[in-house]
Chain A
Amino acid sequence: MRWTALINDIREGIRAQPARTALSFASLTIGMAALVSLLAILGGVQQKTKSMIGELGVNVFGLTQPQMAQLKPGNPRLSRRHVDYLAANLPDAFVTGIRLEDGVSAGLPDGTVIAAVDETLFKVRPWKIVEGRSFDFADIQNQARCAIVSKLLAQTMNLSVNSDIRLHNMTFRVVGLAEIESGTLETRDTPNTITPGNRLLLIPWSAPACWSSEPVPTTTRTASIFIKGSVPAQFDALIHQAGKLMLQPDYAVEGLSWVTPQTLVHSLMRYQRLIVLAGGAIVLLCLILGGITLTSLLLTGVQARVPEIGLRRALGASPADIGILFMCEALLITLSATLAGTGAAWTLLALSRPWSPLPIHLGPAAIIIPLMSGLILGVIFSYWPARDAAGISPSEALRNE
Chain B
Amino acid sequence: MTSPPLPILKMENLSKSFPTPRGPALILHSVNTTILPGEFVAITGPSGSGKTTFLNLASLLDRPTSGTLHFGGQDVSSLDEPALNTLRKHRIGMVFQRFCLLSHRTVLENILFRFRYLDIPQAQAKRLARQALDEMRLTAHADQPVRLLSGGEMQRTAIARAVAMPPDLLLVDEPTGNLDRDSADGVMQCFQNLNRRGITVLLATHNPALLKYCNRHLTCHDGTVNET
A: residues with CB less than 8 A from B are 1-2, 4-5, 9, 12, 15-16, 307-308, 310-319, 321, 393-395, 398-399, 401
Taking CB atoms and an 8 Å cut-off, the chain B residues in 74-92 that contact chain A are 81-82, 85-86, 88-90
- Cβ A399 vs Cβ B115 within 8 A: no
Task: Scan B118-141; emit 1 where CB is below 8 A from any A CB, else 0.
Answer: 111110010000000000000000
Taking CB atoms and an 8 Å cut-off, the chain B residues in 102-122 that contact chain A are 102, 104-105, 113-122
Q: How far is the CA of A203 from the CA of B207 in the complex (A)?
A: 108
15 A-B residue pairs with Cβ-Cβ distance under 8 Å, sorted by A, are: A1-B121, A12-B104, A16-B104, A308-B102, A312-B117, A314-B59, A316-B86, A316-B116, A318-B85, A319-B81, A393-B62, A395-B56, A398-B61, A398-B96, A401-B96
Among all A-B residue pairs, the 9 with the closest Cβ atoms: A316-B89, A316-B117, A395-B56, A395-B61, A394-B61, A395-B62, A311-B100, A401-B98, A1-B122
- Cβ A401 vs Cβ B117 within 8 A: no
Contacts of B85 in A (CB 8 A): 316-318
B33 in the interface (beta carbon within 8 A)? no
Contacts of B96 in A (CB 8 A): 311, 398, 401
Minimum CB–CB distance from B124 to chain A (whole Å) comes to 10
- Cβ A315 vs Cβ B117 within 8 A: yes
Q: How far is the CA of A310 from the CA of B100 in the complex (A)?
A: 9
- Cβ B102 vs Cβ A315 within 8 A: no
Q: How far is the CA of A142 from the CA of B102 in the complex (A)?
A: 94
- Cβ A398 vs Cβ B88 within 8 A: no
Minimum CB–CB distance from A321 to chain B (whole Å) comes to 7
Query: Which among A5, A15, A316, A319 is the interface contact of B88 at CB below 8 angstroms?
Result: A316
- Cβ B97 vs Cβ A315 within 8 A: no
B204 in the interface (beta carbon within 8 A)? no
Q: How far is the CA of A359 from the CA of B90 in the complex (A)?
A: 62
- Cβ A401 vs Cβ B61 within 8 A: no
Q: How far is the CA of A1 from the CA of B124 in the complex (A)?
A: 11
B203 in the interface (beta carbon within 8 A)? no
- Cβ B97 vs Cβ A401 within 8 A: yes
B35 in the interface (beta carbon within 8 A)? no
B94 in the interface (beta carbon within 8 A)? yes
Given A1-B121, A314-B88, A315-B89, A398 and B116 touching (CB < 8 A)? no
- Cβ A317 vs Cβ B117 within 8 A: yes
Minimum CB–CB distance from B113 to chain A (whole Å) comes to 7
Contacts of A5 in B (CB 8 A): 116
Contacts of B97 in A (CB 8 A): 401
Given A12-B105, A316-B89, A399 and B52 touching (CB < 8 A)? yes
Minimum CB–CB distance from A13 to chain B (whole Å) comes to 9
- Cβ A316 vs Cβ B100 within 8 A: no
Q: How far is the CA of A394 from the CA of B89 in the complex (A)?
A: 13
Q: How far is the CA of A5 from the CA of B118 in the complex (A)?
A: 11
Contacts of B98 in A (CB 8 A): 307, 401
Given A15-B104, A398-B96, A318 and B82 touching (CB < 8 A)? yes
With CB as the reference atom, state the residue of chain B lying closest to A305.
Answer: B102
Q: How far is the CA of A16 from the CA of B147 in the complex (A)?
A: 13
Extra pairs beyond A12-B105, A311-B113, A317-B117 (18, CB < 8 Å): A1-B119, A1-B120, A5-B116, A12-B104, A16-B104, A307-B100, A312-B116, A314-B94, A315-B89, A317-B85, A318-B85, A321-B117, A394-B61, A395-B61, A398-B56, A398-B100, A399-B52, A401-B96
Given A1-B122, A395-B62, A398-B100, A318 and B113 touching (CB < 8 A)? no
- Cβ A316 vs Cβ B105 within 8 A: no
Q: How far is the CA of A311 from the CA of B98 in the complex (A)?
A: 12
- Cβ B59 vs Cβ A1 within 8 A: no
Given A1-B125, A12-B102, A398-B96, A315 and B61 touching (CB < 8 A)? no
Q: How far is the CA of A2 from the CA of B62 in the complex (A)?
A: 26
Minimum CB–CB distance from A10 to chain B (whole Å) comes to 13
With CB as the reference atom, state the residue of chain B lying closest to A16.
Answer: B104
Minimum CB–CB distance from B162 to chain A (whole Å) comes to 9
Query: Which among B52, B62, B114 is the interface contact of A315 at CB below 8 angstroms?
Result: B114
With CB as the reference atom, state the residue of chain A lying closest to B90.
Answer: A316
Minimum CB–CB distance from B101 to chain A (whole Å) comes to 9
Minimum CB–CB distance from A323 to chain B (whole Å) comes to 13
Q: How far is the CA of A2 from the CA of B119 in the complex (A)?
A: 8
Contacts of A321 in B (CB 8 A): 117
- Cβ B86 vs Cβ A401 within 8 A: no
Minimum CB–CB distance from A369 to chain B (whole Å) comes to 36
Contacts of A15 in B (CB 8 A): 104
Q: How far is the CA of A308 from the CA of B86 in the complex (A)?
A: 19
Contacts of A318 in B (CB 8 A): 81-82, 85
Minimum CB–CB distance from B139 to chain A (whole Å) comes to 22
Q: How far is the CA of A315 from the CA of B90 in the complex (A)?
A: 9
Q: How far is the CA of A395 from the CA of B56 in the complex (A)?
A: 6
Q: How far is the CA of A341 from the CA of B88 in the complex (A)?
A: 44
Task: Scan B158-181; emit 1 where CB is below 8 A from any A CB, else 0.
Answer: 000000000000000000000000
Residue from A311, A318, A399 having most chain B Cβ neighbours under 10 A: A311
Q: How far is the CA of A124 from the CA of B117 in the complex (A)?
A: 73
Minimum CB–CB distance from A325 to chain B (whole Å) comes to 10
With CB as the reference atom, state the residue of chain A lying closest to B86.
Answer: A316
With CB as the reference atom, state the residue of chain A lying closest to B158.
Answer: A311
